[in-house]
């Protein structure tokens, strides 16, 4: 069986799709999957043994001048690669208008969520076959159910398996006494307070652990540098690709992070992880799997699902909702996890 999978972004959404692909490969051992994914995340699908070919797409870059890109050589090359093969199933696992449109360019019966299940209901009009999946389930389970319906097998009752740990098993060293702090995220309202990170790092160091800090842009690099400056056992990870970061994560004893894509990657690698949630909820899109602990801020306006804090009351920290997630609380849970 050959399938084309459309799941372009984001980092967490791509990782949430991996267990469904593992299920499908276990039911059909000869399954071959080609995966259309945003160019920034093209490394990830290649880690899964069922993926034969990764087809990068640049929608995020093209959308600024989409009317020009339709006539650009880059789009023509992508289209040629997309129609290179015919598929038994073209699966849109994203349920958005843009992903459904990409699916419509491929050769094969198009499948996806029905209008009540898709994130954008209009996407369902692009499919030949639509399937109903409750929106009350976690994203990982929704995708497992979608794949099972499309490919005609029962949803496995076994724990989720992201299928990527073996890709790194021969490239890593034994676990080190290291904790990785994922302090970076795109939303301001998801950021835990910098002084909290510093205080937590100080406590971790007293227990004999080293600390590693990744970063993605200049502001995050500077923050990581300030945290690292408090002790020589704290190291800033050099700018690197996702494969290198995965190797760093898989060697760690534990991870503490905010609601960010790398927290989902840690979960996929089965690393014990504490994830802090302020303006979002973990029930439908949180880190998923064994050894995952979610700490939610209990605050009058949380979760607000907003990138900007609009709280008007008196607050000692910003974002205000993080006043409920103190260093003491996180440290107590981390010690239990370790």
For residue 142, the model assigns a pLDDT of 98
Q: How distant, in Å, are the alpha carbons of 13, 250, 294, 306, 325 from that of 188? A: 20, 27, 19, 9, 16
The per-residue pLDDT for range 238-291, each reduced to its tens digit, is 998 999 999 999 999 999 999 999 999 999 999 999 999 998 999 999 999 999
For residue 322, the model assigns a pLDDT of 87
The per-residue pLDDT for range 141-161, each reduced to its tens digit, is 999 999 999 999 999 998 999
**Domain parsing of the chain, residue ranges:** 2-163, 169-337
d(CA 114, CA 132): 5
Same-fold call for 2-163 versus 169-337: yes
Q: Nearest-5° angle of CA 273, CA 274, CA 278?
A: 140
Phi, psi of 211 (to 5 degrees): -130, 140
For residue 154, the model assigns a pLDDT of 96
For residue 189, the model assigns a pLDDT of 87
> CATH homologous superfamily for 2-163?
Glycogen Phosphorylase B; (3.40.50.2000)
Q: Structure tokens of 22?
A: 């593992």
> Quick one: what percent of the chain has pLDDT higher than 70?
95
Model pTM score: 0.93
d(CA 212, CA 300): 34
Phi, psi of 306 (to 5 degrees): -120, 145
For residue 302, the model assigns a pLDDT of 83
d(CA 117, CA 108): 22
Q: Is 237 exposed, middle or buried (0-12, 13-18, 19+ CB in 10 A)?
A: middle
The CATH class, in words, for 169-337 is alpha beta
Please give the average per-residue pLDDT across 82-96, as a whole number.
Answer: 96
Of the CA atoms within 13 Å of residue 44, those in its CB half-sphere come to 31
Segment among 58-67, 108-117, 132-141, 275-284 with least mean pLDDT: 58-67
Could you tell me the pLDDT band of residue 306, with boundaries at 50, 70 and 90? confident
């Amino acid at each position: 069986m050959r399938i084309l999978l459309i799941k372009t972004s984001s980092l967490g959404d791509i990782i949430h799709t991996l267990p469904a692909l593992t299920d499908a490969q276990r039911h059909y051992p000869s399954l071959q999957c080609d995966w259309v994914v945003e160019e920034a995340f093209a490394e990830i699908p290649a880690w899964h043994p069922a993926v034969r070919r990764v087809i990068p797409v640049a929608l995020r870059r093209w959308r600024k001048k989409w009317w020009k890109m339709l006539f650009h050589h880059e789009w023509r090359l992508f289209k040629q690669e997309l129609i290179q093969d015919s598929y038994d199933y073209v699966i849109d696992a994203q349920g958005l208008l843009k992903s459904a449109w990409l699916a419509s360019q491929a050769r094969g019966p198009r499948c996806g969520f029905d209008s009540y299940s898709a994130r954008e209901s209009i996407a369902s009009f692009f499919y030949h076959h639509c399937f109903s999946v409750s929106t009350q389930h976690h994203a990982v389970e929704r995708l497992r159910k979608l794949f099972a319906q499309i490919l005609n097998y029962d949803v496995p009752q076994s724990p989720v398996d992201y299928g990527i740990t073996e890709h790194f098993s021969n490239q890593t060293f034994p676990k080190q006494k290291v904790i990785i702090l994922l302090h970076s995220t795109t939303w301001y309202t998801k950021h835990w307070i910098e002084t909290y990170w510093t205080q937590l790092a100080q406590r971790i160091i007293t227990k004999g652990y080293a600390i590693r800090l990744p970063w993605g842009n200049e502001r995050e690099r500077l923050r990581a540098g300030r945290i690292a400056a408090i002790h020589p056992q704290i190291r800033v990870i050099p700018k690197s690709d996702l494969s290198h970061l995965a190797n760093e994560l898989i060697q760690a004893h534990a991870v503490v992070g905010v609601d960010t894509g790398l927290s989902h990657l840690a979960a996929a690698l089965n690393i014990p992880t504490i994830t802090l949630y302020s303006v979002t909820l973990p029930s439908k899109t949180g880190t998923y799997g064994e050894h995952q602990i979610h700490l939610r801020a209990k605050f009058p306006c949380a979760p607000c699902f907003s990138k900007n804090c609009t709280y008007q009351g008196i607050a000692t920290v910003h974002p205000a909702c993080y006043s409920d997630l103190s260093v003491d609380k996180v440290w107590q849970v981390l010690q239990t996890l370790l």
